[in-house]
Amino acid sequence: MSTYSLTYKPFGESAILITWPAEMNEEILKETIRFYQKIRQKRKPEIIEIIQSLNSLTVIYNSNLVTFPYLKKALEKIYSEKYSSFQEEYYLWKIPVCYDLKFGLDLPEISSKTKLPFDEIIRMHTDTVYRVYSIGFLPGFLYLGGLDSRLFIGRKATPRLEVPKGAVAIGGKQTGIYPKSSPGGWQIIGKTPISFFDSKKKNPCFSKPGDKIQFYQISVDEFDEIQRLVYQNVFLIKKEVIDD
């Protein structure tokens, strides 16, 4: 492991919040994933759940079995131990997006603020390969890093009361996809017909932190056709194995 100085703090009465420096970079992401996997390898009965985020882990534990000081010390020891890699595959997922103004509700505002034409905004957004850093604030909402700096744009001054399911949006230095209809303040650039969360499936969210995402542009007619296939549960998302 690296020499990052981690902080371990109580998080409520039965959780520990472990944090790295407040940065969004791939080295910290890899560390959070490694530490998450190392804790899982130990299979400690007192640990109920581990939640990974951009630069933190939240370890939820049974306070009837262990105290905060004891578990903190145990976690520090786990962190310092040699890492035995999991045989886990990571994927690059190819996600179709329609950038028509019917769906790209904020393209005019993005264009005005960035001084870029629509086609250049779309080209930049689809040329980039994004890294999945974490999943939240809704189940299946992917926080994606790697956005072209020319597309950095602040959130809307007044959030929408309802952002449609599948909306692809930009918020600050990140891009992401709304897995369900919800309030939101990110700038909407397009929409995907793909479902990013299905509670009925064994893996409700097909992607995970460490995976990569690349968008490709589709027409309105292609959107409608893919959406029909998704509803029939026969559409296969393009993917390929990555080694980093």
Domain spans of the chain, in order of start: 7-80, 90-242
| Spatial distance between the Cα atoms of 155 and 171, rounded to a whole number of angstroms | 5
Task: Give whole-number Cα distances, 193 to 59, 98, 183, 230, in Å.
Answer: 34, 8, 19, 7
Cβ within 8 Å of residue 125, ≥6 positions away:
97, 99, 148, 151, 175, 189, 190, 215
The rounded Cα 43 to chain-centroid distance in angstroms is 25
Task: Please give the model's pTM, rounded to 2 decimal places.
Answer: 0.85
Amino acid identity of 221?
D
Per-residue pLDDT of the chain (244 residues; tens, 9 = 90+): 456 889 999 999 999 999 999 888 888 998 998 899 899 888 889 999 999 888 899 999 999 999 999 999 999 999 988 766 666 789 999 999 999 999 999 999 999 999 999 999 999 999 999 999 988 878 889 999 999 999 999 999 899 999 999 999 999 999 999 999 999 999 999 999 999 988 888 788 899 999 999 999 999 999 999 999 999 999 999 999 998 7
Number of H helices, E strands in the chain: 5, 14
| Spatial distance between the Cα atoms of 137 and 88, rounded to a whole number of angstroms | 25
| Assigned architecture for domain 7-80 | 2-Layer Sandwich (3.30)
Amino acid identity of 110?
I
Chain position carrying tokens 């020319």: 150
* Two structure tokens written together for 114: 């960035």
CATH number belonging to the domain at 90-242, selected among 3.40.50.1820, 3.40.50.300, 3.20.20.70, 2.40.100.10: 2.40.100.10
Prior bond of 137 cis (ω within 30°)? yes
Task: Let me know: does 142 contact 176? Beta carbons within 8 Å.
Answer: yes
